Each structure stands twice: as C-alpha cells, then as structure tokens.
Amino acid sequence: MPIQLLLDEDVPVPLRHDFDSAFDVETVEYRGWKSAENGDLLRRAEAEYDVFVTLDKNLPSQQNIGTFDIGVVVLCGNDVRLPALRELMPEANEMIRSVERGTLARVFPPNEATP
C-alpha cells in the first residue's frame, strides 16, 4: 500500500512530481483545506494520510507533533524556490519512508550541518 502524503500549502505544487512515484501525493489546496490552522489541519490529515510535508520550520514549536497520528516532515531549505527544494528531495523521500506517526523529521540541504 502506498504511503499517503499531504503537502502543506507552502510547498510549491510542482514539487509534488519530485516525490517518489510509490507515494500517493495530495495537496492541502486540492483537499480544500487551505485556510485551516495547523492544529486543525493535522487533525484532519491524520485520519487519511501517513505523512504531512511542510516548509513551516516553526510548526514543531507551535504544535505537539506527538499528539497527532501522522508523521511530519519539514523541508528546511535555505530557499523556498523549486531548484533549492529539489536538492532536498533524495533525503526527503528517504525520510518519508522512515518517519513514524507522531514524530517529526527535518530535511536539510546536502552537506549542511544539522543544527
């Protein structure tokens, strides 16, 4: 069964094609959840998705990820444009396969020290 991914509204829609083809990828906008607050969004998402992908580096400090039945992957690039985000995708695809529900994984640019 494919991993069900939900991309936050801050993730550029064209990036959905850079996720592993074995993943089922949908966007917050497609679901009609664009204006939902983070907590509400995660509650909605946990019922149907395995992993939530976002660029929101502040999400972990705003939400207790452990209370949600969904894995969260934060793309921590230095730039939110597609070329820079695409550099994160090899590691992001690996993280998505291993992140567990109720946990958070951060993806940093290659060769950048993790804080």
49-83 pLDDT, tens digit per residue, is 999 999 999 998 999 999 999 999 999 988 899 99
Given a cut of 60, whether residue 113 has pLDDT beyond it is no
Report yes or no on 113 lying in a domain.
Answer: no
pLDDT greater than 70 at residue 109? yes
The answer to whether residue 102 is domain-embedded is yes
Domain that holds residue 13: 4-107
The arithmetic mean of pLDDT across residues 34-54, rounded, is 94
Residues 85, 59 contacting (CB under 8 angstroms): no
The verdict on residue 112 lying in a domain is: no
Q: Is residue 87 part of a domain?
A: yes
Give every CB contact of residue 12 below 8 A, 6+ residues apart in sequence. Answer: 80, 81, 82, 85
Q: Note whether residue 26 is domain-resident.
A: yes
The per-residue b/e assignment along 15-36, b for 16 or more CB within 10 angstroms, e otherwise, is: bbebbbeebebbbbeebebeeb
Number of domains within the chain = 1
CATH number, domain at 96?
3.40.50
Domain contains 47: yes
Residue 111 predicted with pLDDT over 90: no
CA 56 to centroid of chain Cα atoms: 9
Indicate whether 90 belongs to any domain: yes
Model-level pTM? 0.93
Q: Specify if 20 maps to a domain.
A: yes
pLDDT, the chain, mean: 93
Report d(CA 71, CA 86) in Å as an integer. Answer: 21
